[in-house]
């Protein structure tokens, strides 16, 4: 280790030499900044693992860089482990915290955010184990919670990474210039006025009593899921689940 008095060029030193000097004088911002600069490669590597998840790389890099500064200031080389081993979990932790607290486009309770994470992890484990996509009941049993809680977490995930209205409908087709916003129709006051009234009437005839009430309430009378839940004396998550099934049935009927 070079004595402090003989150091003439900090930039030529390695991490251990710089941290030795910094440990003797934590007020030396010049050394701290050089240490941060020398270890920014860690931020670059770790931030790239979280791209394409709804946050720009530049934002992740900034969060990771701040975490790196914290790591440099807190690192104790006398503990015997490498700086990279100490800094990595610090950087990853701050990036994950940023996702948890800032990325959700809708205000979702922390409880649901944490449950969503467990649900996603359970889906991966169960799919790998059983070689097929797990059902809601399978996920609930694996985590140890109610099926409705799993559904709530899955519903909340749509607030995590919304699809842009500028997204092309199909980049491989001749209509690659057509975006989602181009496909949005104008608001209709009632299904009575739409062109496929006969088709809708036949479709309603294939639904059970509860499905008909939800279908009419949501799409004819424009009631909220919350108001329908109170009216039918069932949970809002049940309304949401049945509504998704109705829409899926409608899509399949239309494609026949």
Which part of the chain is CATH 1.10.10? Answer: 104-184, 186-255
State the pLDDT at residue 117: 78
pLDDT in tens, 2-19: 444 444 477 778 888 899
Containing 41, the helix (H) or strand (E) segment is helix 40-48
Q: In a 3-state reduction of DSSP, which class is residue 197?
A: helix
State the pLDDT at residue 160: 54
Answer whether 151's CB lies under 8 Å from 237's CB: yes
- The fold for domain 104-184 equals Arc Repressor Mutant, subunit A (1.10.10)
State the pLDDT at residue 237: 87
pLDDT in tens, 84-107: 999 999 999 888 887 766 655 555
Is pLDDT of 191 > 50?
no
Answer whether 38's CB lies under 8 Å from 28's CB: no
State the pLDDT at residue 161: 53
Answer whether 134's CB lies under 8 Å from 127's CB: yes
pLDDT in tens, 66-88: 999 999 999 998 888 889 999 99
Q: In a 3-state reduction of DSSP, which class is residue 17?
A: helix
Which of 44-48, 50-54, 119-123, 131-135 is the least confident region?
50-54
Q: What percentage of the chain exceeds 90 in pLDDT?
A: 16
CATH of the structural domain 186-255, one choice from 3.40.47, 1.10.10, 1.20.120, 1.10.3470: 1.10.10
Which part of the chain is CATH 1.20.120.1810? Answer: 4-103
Give CA separation, 155 vs 22, 47, 104, 158, 237, in Å: 49, 27, 13, 6, 9
pLDDT in tens, 206-253: 889 999 899 888 888 888 888 888 999 998 888 888 988 888 888 777
State the pLDDT at residue 42: 92
Determine the Cα–Cα distance for residues 117 and 207; give it in Å rounded to an integer: 34
Answer whether 162's CB lies under 8 Å from 105's CB: yes
Q: Which of 206, 200, 224, 205 is nearest to 214 (CA)?
A: 224
Rounded mean pLDDT, 186-203: 59
State the pLDDT at residue 4: 45
Between 97 and 194, where is the model more confident? 97
4-103: CATH class: mainly alpha
State the pLDDT at residue 69: 93
pLDDT in tens, 102-121: 655 555 567 777 887 788 88
State the pLDDT at residue 34: 92
State the pLDDT at residue 222: 82
Between 201 and 227, where is the model more confident? 227
Cβ–Cβ contacts within 10 Å for residue 83, how many? 19
């Amino acid at each position: 280790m070079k004595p402090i008095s003989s150091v003439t060029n900090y930039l030529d030193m390695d991490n251990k030499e710089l941290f030795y000097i910094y440990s003797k004088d934590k007020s030396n911002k010049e050394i701290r900044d050089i240490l941060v600069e020398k270890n920014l490669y860690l931020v670059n590597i770790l931030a790239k693992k979280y791209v394409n998840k709804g946050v720009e790389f530049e934002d992740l890099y900034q969060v990771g860089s701040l975490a790196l500064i914290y790591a440099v200031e807190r690192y104790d080389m006398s503990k015997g482990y490498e700086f990279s081993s100490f800094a990595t979990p610090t950087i990853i932790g701050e990036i994950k915290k940023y996702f948890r607290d800032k990325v959700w486009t809708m205000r979702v309770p922390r409880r649901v955010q944490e449950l969503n994470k467990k649900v996603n992890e359970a889906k991966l484990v169960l799919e790998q184990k059983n070689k097929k996509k797990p059902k809601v009941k399978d996920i609930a049993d694996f985590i140890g919670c109610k099926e409705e809680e799993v559904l709530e977490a899955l519903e909340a995930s749509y607030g995590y990474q919304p699809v842009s209205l500028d997204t092309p409908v199909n980049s491989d087709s001749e209509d690659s210039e057509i975006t989602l916003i181009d496909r949005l129709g104008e608001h209709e006051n009632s299904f009575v006025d739409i062109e496929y009234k006969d088709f809708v009437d036949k479709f309603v005839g294939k639904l059970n009593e509860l499905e008909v009430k939800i279908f009419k309430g949501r799409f004819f009378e424009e009631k909220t899921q919350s108001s329908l839940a109170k009216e039918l004396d069932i949970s809002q998550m049940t309304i949401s689940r049945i509504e998704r099934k109705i829409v899926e049935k409608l899509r399949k009927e239309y494609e026949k």
